Structure formats: structure tokens, C-alpha cells
Amino acid sequence: MKKIGFIGLGIMGKPMSKNLLKAGYQLVVYDLNESAVAEIVRTGAEAGTSAKDVASKTEVIITMLPNSPHVKEVVLGKDGVIDGAQEGSIVIDMSSIAPLVSREVGKKLATKNIRFMDAPVSGGEPKAIEGTLSIMVGGKEVDFGECLSLLQCMGTSVVLCGDVGAGNVTKLANQIIVAVNIAAMSEALVLATKAGVDPDSVYKAIRGGLAGSTVLDAKAPLVMARKFDPGFRINLHIKDLNNILETGHEVGVPLPLSASVMEMMQALKVDGHGGKDHGSLVLFYEKLANILVEKQNK
């Protein structure tokens, strides 16, 4: 079984790395957060001293980082993966970044005969913990086949979407649908509440019909329980929406709904809610309507 490098032990990376350890893989891990590294080392991993060090000791290197600049720095920068990786090794970037950056990183790694796939994920912290993420992959079919069993330790849906960059294009499409779903749910539940109808009854009535969705089932109960602890932060969805709008402009696709939700999330960030779950988008609508979405006492 191949030795795996894992760089980036945040909300998502930490449980993902733990699932690889549970599956029996040997891991060398690295993160600027030393306490996160120590936690994973206690579960059986080896600590690396830098991205370069991790890459020099492993055959497959996974990165799970906040955004495009972090991926470029860790993979291509000083003491980066590119300086330590062996020829023929493979880098799997599971971060959600701009597709054009994925292609840039892939091309530069290829000059050193290092293979690359972009494989962003969807499902948030709960599914990262369960190992049931949806993983969208861009890369060569032969590389995908080689790494499929590894990726299946972290996700139950693992789909090759095309060449390098296709994974992040797919993730951007995913994030549009999630953001607009949450906004629509928030608008609907605020309307119901303000009109005097129990939002929980509305949710139960519509969830089995055409308006039902995974997003509705995941977020509506949390909203009504006033639980906004981050599974996926507003700030991170703003990052994704930035990448969405930038990519849309680059390829010539107007994205009016994405732009609208971006402005709602920016307003929440200004109000100090950027660290809350993206389900807290309901707070934007509640402020406009001067109402709270809560279950009514019966």
C-alpha cells in the first residue's frame, strides 16, 4: 500500500486524513497548525517538516487548502511539493480553487514528470467525518483509476469529470446550486414565518415534493434550531463565489443568481457572520423582514 502525504489539516482535511489512517494507509502530514499535526500524529501518522519533506517521503501527495494562492504556494513555492516530489508521483489537490489555477499547477508539475489531479469535495465537515463526501475529479483516466480506491476511503461518490481543471469546474457548479438553494430556502421560510405559518410544517410538507433537496434537509432543521456552527463557513462560500464569478467572466458566462447570493453573503460578513455556517444566509432575510425562523410552539 502506497505511502500518502497529506498537507492541510483544517475542518475538512483533519477528518479526511483520519479516514485514510483507518483504511490502513501510512500518512506523512503537514500543516502550519502544529496542534492539528499533533492530533493526527497521535492517531498514527508521521509528521513532516515542510511540504517538500512530505513530498520526498511519499508517492501520492494530497493537498486540502483554503484557496488558489495557498495551493500555488504549497505546491510550487519555496520548499514546496514540486521541490520534493519524485518523478512519477502524483499530486491530488482536493481544495476548491479556480480551475485555471488547477491547470497552471498541473502544467508546472508536468515539467518535472509529476502527475496531477484536481479533486474538490462536497458534503462539508459531517460527510468528511463519515467518509461519505462527493469527490469531483479532473485528470487522466489512468491516474484516476490508480487512485480510485484511495479516494473512496474519503467519499462514496467519486466521479472523473474530465481533464485537469474539470473537477473544480464541477465544484463551482455544485457551489452555485448549493448557494442558490440555501437562499431560496431562506426566502421561503422567512415568508412562511412572517405570514404566520409554522416553518417546520412548511418544511415537512414540501420536502417530499419537487422543492425537496439534500440542501433543504441538511439546512432547514438547523436554521429552525438556530444552529449556525460552521460546517461550511460563509467566508469559504464567498471564496467559492469569487472563483465562480471570475471563471464565469473569463469564459463569457453571466451569472446573475450567483452575483446576488454573493452580495447577500458579503452583507452577512460585514455584519460579523462570516465565520458562521452558510445556512446563516437566513439571517440576511430575517433582518429584512424583522422576523426569526423558528418552530412554533404547539
Q: Is 108 a catalytic residue?
A: no
User: What whole-number distance in Å separates Cα of residue 188 and Cα of residue 178?
Assistant: 15
User: What whole-number distance in Å separates Cα of residue 56 and Cα of residue 68?
Assistant: 23
Q: By the 8 A CB rule, do 119 and 138 touch?
A: yes
End-to-end CA distance of the chain, in Å?
57
User: What whole-number distance in Å separates Cα of residue 136 and Cα of residue 150?
Assistant: 14
Could you tell me which of 109, 154, 162, 151 has the C-alpha nearest to residue 132? 154
| DSSP code per residue over 79-117 | T-HHHHPPTT-EEEE-S---HHHHHHHHHHHHTTT-EEE
Q: By the 8 A CB rule, do 20 and 44 touch?
A: no
User: What whole-number distance in Å separates Cα of residue 117 and Cα of residue 138?
Assistant: 6
| Residue of 18, 52, 127, 171 with catalytic role | 171
Beta-carbon contacts of 180 under 8 Å, excluding residues fewer than 6 positions away, are: 257, 258, 261
User: What whole-number distance in Å separates Cα of residue 244 and Cα of residue 157?
Assistant: 23
Contacts of residues 130-134 at CB distance under 8 Å and 24 or more positions apart, as own/partner, are: 131/15, 131/19, 131/155, 131/156, 132/156, 133/16, 133/157, 134/159, 134/174
Give me the active site residues, please. Answer: 171
